[in-house]
Amino acid sequence: MYDNHVFAIVGSVGTPTNGSVYESLNDSGVPLVAMATGSPIFYHPTRKFIFPSWPLYSTDGKTLGAFVKRHFAKDSVGIIYQDDAFGKPIRDGILSELGRPADMTIPYVPSQVDFSSDVIKLKSANIKVVIFAAIATPAAQILNQMANLDYHPTRVLTSSACGYSGIFKSIASIDGTYCSAFLPAPGSSDPRWVAFSKAMKQYAPGHAAEVYAAWGWLSGEVAVAGLRGISGPITREKFVAQLDKLKNFQTIGGGLTYSAEAHDGICCQIMWQAQGDHWTVLPDKPFDGLASK
């Protein structure tokens, strides 16, 4: 049955990487579980062997759009987004909740390294709020370029831009920046983060308890939950059947529910703000992306 020696793939990272294999894995009956991506292609239609865990990228975007609408309704808004299956759903989610067209929308290609002309456009148009649908490296480059050009708008980042532990050292101007998230703030007293940090010290001493590691922890939580419910010989069919029985299963990122009809991932996102050398969770009510489908 397992002549390829692969029972399942758990926690694989990225939209392009997962996007190139998920259909063939599903057709071959190989479970793809808790991938580090929120691209809609993995959620709808529901595929028997594909189990995303992140909130949809459109939920990420809706969280950002709703936050800006609530707190910066009178300000001009610009969106800079990665022009692919990562950035476009976030852009569309932002626009669906913003309630009005953005004053400026700027796409960039994943290979782009110079954002000075984009920042100059935003500054020249006096854009007050800039929303980033960007992964970590481009977001850091844009933020640093803004500081270099003495441009200081309100900055609101997608969750994929904020996870690495070195962000406060690599971006001198990060203070005050907002970021969407579905995990507890790193270093916080949230019991989920405390349990994760304790496990990191025990099983991966010397490695930081950071967001990227927490993504892996989330993937492991989901996979183990499916395995624990199996009685008798462990098979892919039994594994998938157990995953489909998870109802409001509590992960480090919140509740997760699967069924044979829907593999929707985590429902909700929150907002962080950079304060000094750490992230704090804002008191805004979590945005429920599943309720807004």
The rounded distance, in Å, linking the Cα atoms of 198 and 24 is 37
Cβ–Cβ under 8 Å, residues 161 and 253: no
Please write the tens of the pLDDT for every residue from 142-155.
999 999 999 999 99
The rounded distance, in Å, linking the Cα atoms of 188 and 273 is 13
Query: Please, which residues have CB within 8 angstroms of residue 26's CB and are 6 or more apart in sequence?
Result: 32, 47, 48, 49, 50
All domains of the chain in start order, with CATH: 9-54+212-267 (3.40.50.2300), 57-181 (3.40.50.2300)
Please write the tens of the pLDDT for every residue from 85-117.
999 999 999 999 999 999 999 999 999 999 999
Phi then psi for 144, rounded to 5 degrees? -65, -35
User: What is the per-residue pLDDT for 146?
Assistant: 96
275 alpha carbon, distance to own chain's centre = 21
Average per-residue pLDDT for the chain: 94
**Mean per-residue pLDDT for 29-46?**
95
Query: Please, which residues have CB within 8 angstroms of residue 56's CB and are 6 or more apart in sequence?
Result: 38, 40, 43, 89, 93, 264, 265, 289
Q: What is the reported pTM?
A: 0.92
